Amino acid sequence: MFTSPGPELIQLGPFTLRWYGLLIAAAVLIGLNLSSRLARSRDLDNGLISDLLPLLVLASVLGARAYYVAFEWRNYSDNWIKALAIWEGGIAIHGALIAGTLTLILFCRWRRQSFWDLLDVLVPSLALGQAIGRWGNFFNSEAFGVPTDLPWKLFIPYQNRPVVYADAQFFHPTFLYESIWNLVLFLLLIVLFRRGEQGKMTLPSGALACTYLLGYSLGRIWIEGLRIDPLCLGALPPACEGGLRIAQLVSGLLMLAGAAGLFWLYARHQALPDPAEVR
């Protein structure tokens, strides 16, 4: 059984260090180190990752929060200042992916770099960062699944439960499912990267990025089906009845995009179009 110790790690006077922020910072630092190593092995410009990462992190965090708030505006319309309280939780990875992709395209145009080459060295860090960051949901007692009695059940405090599940105590730890899924995806991407580097398999530019899209989206579709707090279109949580779970819809589209990219690379033997190419 899992039980969160609470969102705050330490408080000294007015200063509060939250687990959520600590995990995000750790994911960024680990990602910087890992992506820099992978970039060097791909002979990309020295220092490219350290120049990109601050821009990417800022854009991704803002995009993730804006995406979440846009679909949950009913909870912020009476007090829009709360929309800025990102430390309280409430971000969406698809918003981060959209904002991060746009930022990466602009950066690659500015530095005249291949979009797909750079993205390939970033996606392993992205998968690992998601595996780490999902534990922020655990400490905040959020983003959990439907009630369950499984041995690995997650206890949710009364004040964090939806009204319809007020009498339930234990829920699916969907944060754990996604963390494990992303960790396995990270290991797969690293193995593929190393095998390509050693010449044991053909790994054209963009193959790792497409593998990430396909792998992450496949896992997110089934995990999202368990959650009771999805972003919905045309309905409200927890059931989302009569509406669409936004994350499942977007994940389905991204999964198709990843599969199409791999088909283009390996079946048609053609390079992916570079959205950052200056013509």
- Give the model's pLDDT for residue 201: 82
CA 257, CA 261: separation in Å to the nearest integer? 6
- Give the model's pLDDT for residue 34: 95
pLDDT at residue 20 is higher than 70: yes
**Which residue has 């990309």 as its token pair?**
44
pLDDT at residue 138 is higher than 80: yes
**What are 80-128's pLDDT values in tens digits?**
777 777 666 677 889 999 999 999 999 999 999 999 999 999 999 999 9
- Give the model's pLDDT for residue 197: 85
Q: Per residue, what are the HEC states of the chain? A: CEECCCCEEEEECCEEEEHHHHHHHHHHHHHHHHHHHHHHHCCCCCCHHHHHHHHHHHHHHHHHHHHHHHHCHHHCCCCHHHHHCHHHCCCCHHHHHHHHHHHHHHHHHHHCCCHHHHHHHHHHHHHHHHHHHCHHHHHHCCCCECECCCCCCEECCHHHCCHHHCCCCEECCHHHHHHHHHHHHHHHHHHHHHHHHCCCCCCCCCHHHHHHHHHHHHHHHHHHCCECCCCEECCCCCCCCCCEEHHHHHHHHHHHHHHHHHHHHHCCCCCCCCCCCCC
- Give the model's pLDDT for residue 202: 83
- Give the model's pLDDT for residue 159: 92
For 200, list phi and psi in degrees, rounded to 5: -85, -10
For 227, list phi and psi in degrees, rounded to 5: -75, 150
Task: Give domain limits for the chain.
Answer: 17-266
Compute the average pLDDT of residues 229-254. Answer: 80
Q: pLDDT band at 47, cuts 50/70/90?
A: confident
pLDDT at residue 267 is higher than 80: yes
- Give the model's pLDDT for residue 87: 63
- Strand pairing class (2-3; 154-155): parallel
Amino acid at site 239: A
Q: pLDDT band at 242, cuts 50/70/90?
A: low
pLDDT at residue 44 is higher than 80: yes
42-51, 80-89, 216-225, 244-253 — which is least confidently predicted?
80-89
Compute the average pLDDT of residues 28-43. Answer: 92
**Which residue has 């291949």 as its token pair?**
114
pLDDT at residue 22 is higher than 80: yes
- Give the model's pLDDT for residue 232: 80
Q: Which two tokens stand for residue 32?
A: 């910087």
CA 181, CA 223: separation in Å to the nearest integer? 10
Considering only residues 143 and 244, tell me which one the structure prediction assigns the higher pLDDT. 143
